[in-house]
Every structure is written in C-alpha cells, then in structure tokens.
Amino acid sequence: MPAKTGASHSFGYLVSVLVGGLLVEHVLTYVPSSRRASRAAGELLTTVTDVPVSEEVAGMLLVATVLTGIWGVGFHLYRH
C-alpha cells in the first residue's frame, strides 16, 4: 500500500511541477491577483530561506502546489 500511495503522489508531484512550469505565464498574465500572490510567496520564501526567488519561480511553485493538492484530494476520494 505505501508503494502505491508513494508512487501516485510522486507522479502527481512531477506532473504538477511540469504543468505548473508551463502554466505559470498564462496564470500570471490572465489572473492579475495571482501576480501579487506570486510576489508575496517569493518574498516569503526569500525571507525564510535567504535565497532569492523570482516571481516566475514562486508562481510556478504556487501553481504546482494547487495542482498537487487537487491530485491528492482526487486520489484519496477515488481510493475510498
């Protein structure tokens, strides 16, 4: 069971990161509030890690996080 769950979560994360990288520019362009959220996430990551994070990278991470959450919820709903 852990191997099945781990493999699904790993695959979901990989897909989310790839799709997040492709979607970030569209999301930042067509959803104006996402640019502010992306900037805030980048500033938070920079503050916490002392590593500068660009707006695009922070946006990609936000999109990937949302997609991973959706994938996880879908997986658990499908499983039960």
Where in the chain are the domains? 10-79
The pLDDT tens digits for 10-61 are: 787 787 778 877 777 777 778 778 788 888 888 888 899 898 888 778 878 8
The pLDDT of residue 1 is above 60: no
Q: What is the pTM of this model?
A: 0.67
What is the rounded distance in angstroms from the CA atom of residue 5 to the CA atom of residue 15?
A: 15
What is the rounded distance in angstroms from the CA atom of residue 59 to the CA atom of residue 9?
A: 21
From residue 47, give the alpha-carbon distance in Å to each of 21, 56, 57, 77. Answer: 23, 17, 15, 36
| 70 three-state secondary structure | helix
Q: Which of 11, 14, 21 is nearest to 63 (CA)?
A: 21
